Amino acid sequence: MEVASPAYNGPQGLTKSPFSFQPQKPTDDGIPRSFYDLEKPAITNLDDIDSQSSTSQSSSDQDQLPPSPPSEQSSSPPSEDDNLSPFEKALHHPQPTSAPYPLPPSPDPISILPLDLKTPDNFVPRDPALIRLTGVHPFNVEAPLTPLFNQGFLTTLNLHYVRNHGPVPQVHDSEALSWSFTIDGLCSSPVTLTLSDLLSPRFEDEVVSYPITLVCAGNRRKEQNLVRKSKGFSWGAAGLSTSMWTGLPLGYLLSLAGIDTRKGKYVHFEGADQLPNGYYGTSVKLSHAMDPERGMMVSWLMNGLPLHPDHGKPLRVVIPGMIGGRSVKWLKRIVVSDKPSENWYHIYDNRVLPTMISPEESGNGTEEMVKVWKDERYAIYDLNTNSAVVYPEHEQQLSITPEGAFTIKGYAYAGGGKRVTRMEISLDQGKTWRLGHINYPEDLYRTQTESRIYGGRLDLSSNGRDASFCWCFWELELSISDLATAKDIVVRAMDEAMMVQPRDMYWSVLGMMNNPWFRVVIHREGNNTLRFEHPTQPALQPGGWMERVKKAGGDLANGFWGERQSGEESTPVSSKDPEKEISMTNPNISRQITLEELRQHDTETSPWFVLNGQVYDGTPFLESHPGGAASIINAAAQDITDEFLAIHSSNAKALMPTYHIGTLPPTSLPLLSSPTSPSSSSTPRPVFLHPKTFHPATLLSKTRISSDTKIFSFSLQHPLQPLGLPVGQHLLVRLSSTSPGGVKQTIIRAYTPISSGSLPTGQLDLLVKIYYSSQTSTGGKMTQALDALPLQSKVEFKGPVGKFLYLSPGLCSINNHTRQVSKFIMICAGSGITPIFQVLRSVLDNPSDPTKCLVLDGNRVEEDILCREALDKMAANNKDRCEVVYSLSRPQASWQGRKGRMDRHFFEEIVGGPDPNRKTLVLVCGPEGLEKGIRETFTGKGGLGWEEGDVIFF
């Protein structure tokens, strides 16, 4: 058996330095000092820390403290310091030039990318080499696998993976040192600390540095998504990175607050990132947090540099050996509790639910399913053992030579501090195995006793800790002749607990912790060449044997990697979980359209737009578009993919081939404008709304109107800014929501505010009926996401849109065609009152407007009648011009109004036939069932005889 060598012979190698370090001075009992000693009195203020520090160590002890490495003792050149902000100076440590262990490679310069300029992250510099997994925003990325591996043990900022659930909190250097977080809950002395406090001399002896590999729980999820679509996006095999982290041990910080270890069982963390379902938060066991072997820390340096915004600037938690989702960024609060976190993201993210639970069932919101989500047995903490092949690369070709050899290479990791102890490689699908050679670069740090780097003690050997927190590299040299006779390469890792990667996948609804054998298929190209095929490629990138097999009808879950066995029919696995794909292109169209040609059609008369890289001509649909011609005109020369897919039904998608005219080159897409948020500007706009661009407003308050209805009030750009919404039009509301399981989705819906659109109020008020999840319904995505928003959150708005306009007394416009009107019949239900209310208010607020209004408002119970007080007041003050009729389908015995549904009999009695002069318009807004019934009753065959043009649906 080949024994793993502690020497580092990884992808890049190292240059070793000869300097050595002094050993740590033990205490009187011969045991190194522990900074997790809970018997110490709790710290009630920072002065206490000074006094305890001064008494705990004599002057002679201080004189005998080990010296810092030469590179840490030397001062930076004045010119270098002069270029640093006070925040950067406070965190600055000279970069060591050599060491007997891996040092972080120097990062390449990065800048703000054009793709990010129109997103909330328009201040964040990033590397364009990173692969975006969830579109432009939020930023979820991994590096290309081979460059990540070739970079070596430590990963630069440029190639470090990022998992963001939403916008990155912006923290300016001038604010960073005063950034604070609290430690409270089950503790005798809650404490608030700033980053400046953590950097003070009183803490410097406790600061630690060591390498940690962070891994997303979704690493290798693309493989699960190809077997059966999960609720997560498609990570490849590079959802991991390793950095040198510097900070204070979490257990030490908790001890300052005097935690109650009898009652306390969990430690909660909460970040500052405002998300649709509140702030991101999670928890870990208190016993793990207090265990030095677990190595948890609160960190402010990554590879010796201040945290990048994507990685938690200025302060975050770093938890080795666990999934990355437990390492909360932008840390604001630590809470000691007797139970796990109840944060939405702790419950509905980072779980492995039983494999029989489907995506549909997981989101049904039933009481039983909520209990499943909240079951801590399914929560993921420690990483499982995993590995991947890097060399041979995907699609790499190798010439067949009789005496030639090829070294296969890859990475492996385990969780919970366990070491990967075995790597096995098979060329006959697991019948026989060969033992690979493992290199542990992490062990080079263990040889240094009390070394310091970036101001922190190199905390891997000084306390006798032998936990493994990092990836390792493996390799095995094989003869090319053996490869030429094999169908594939499969590899598996084993950890020191003898847990080995399974042969087959454990599919689960969130697609997490995927760790079956990593398989690379070998193709023989002619007589002289081998070609290698990895299982998948990340995100939407095509390629991989799994995608090929699935397209060919192979069952990827058949236990033979989709290869059909004798007597097995070709039945795609998608038949178990059908995915209805609607083609939105015309297969006969092959025209290439340039960006310049597209921009020539940014017009009202000939609008072209882009959807999924394809170009469409909206001109023929201007008159018949349900949302009005403005919806298409405002999309001219823009990429509307996100907006279209968020709003439109399968019926709309099926119409798209009719309007398909060509393809835009992929290189033009990043240069194309899209309806997203621009960079913030201090220059006030004349009106808030813009027809082509979403702009953010800030959530000020939520006012409960009924058990399921609230008014959401937003502040605009400045207090005297008018909304800019004409009467009869609506606006689009956009926000990013995270579904159960942590899947980001963009939601866009149309709403009509109840606030005035023309007066300079600086405020926008939305009346929203919230459709909560129930045993029979998943509820409303937008309404529940709005309800979950914390105050001060940003929500984006665009408009106006719509085909109806009320211009002046007795005059309106429908799809840009003016129409005289003497009466409105306004039919609504529930929150459908809002556009009706807008038009009604405009008519009745003008005493000289002779237009009559009949409002028919149908609901289930009396509580469901929205804006009732205002409606009754308007009707009482305008008896000659306004009548309001309420009808309840499930009234209480005390109800004195009309009873029953608004059906054909109801409309025959109250409305009757059409106006022969066609000066009466029916305005309708309500649920789908109501609108369908009105179409049949008013304009359908055998109906009341109204013309289709006389019935307007909002």
Q: Cite the DSSP H helix spans in 817-936.
A: 833-844, 868-877, 904-910, 928-934
What is the 8-class DSSP label of residue 939? I
3 state SS of 692: coil
Q: According to the annotation, is 925 in a ligand binding site?
A: no
> Which residues participate in catalysis according to the annotation?
216, 349-350
The beta strands (E) that lie in 689-793 are given as 695-706, 709-715, 730-739, 743-751, 763-769
Q: Is 799 left (phi over 0), alpha (psi -120 to 50) or beta?
A: left
Exposure of 648 by Cβ count < 10 A (0-12 exposed, 13-18 middle, 19+ buried)? Answer: middle
Cα distance between residue 692 and residue 673, in whole Å: 10
Q: What phi and psi, each to the nearest 5 degrees, are found at residue 540?
A: -95, 5
Give per-residue burial for 372-411: e unless 16+ CB within 10 Å, then b.
bbeeeebbbbbbbbbbbbbbbebeeebebeeeeebebbbb
CB 221 within 8 A of CB 323: no
Cα distance between residue 510 and residue 230, in whole Å: 5
HEC profile for 568-579? CCCCCHHHCCCC
Pairing of strands 131-132, 140-142: antiparallel
Nearest by Cα to 19 from 97, 95, 92, 94: 97
CB 426 within 8 A of CB 490: yes
Cα distance between residue 779 and residue 344, in whole Å: 16
Cα distance between residue 135 and residue 351, in whole Å: 24
CB 597 within 8 A of CB 625: no
Exposure of 200 by Cβ count < 10 A (0-12 exposed, 13-18 middle, 19+ buried)? Answer: middle
Cα distance between residue 407 and residue 436, in whole Å: 10
CB 330 within 8 A of CB 271: yes
Owner of token pair 């409960």: 704
What is the 8-class DSSP label of residue 14? -
The tally of CA atoms less than 13 A away on the side-chain side of residue 36 is: 17
CB 142 within 8 A of CB 159: no
Q: Residue positions in the annotated binding site for Mo-molybdopterin?
A: 216
Q: Residue positions in the annotated binding site?
A: 216
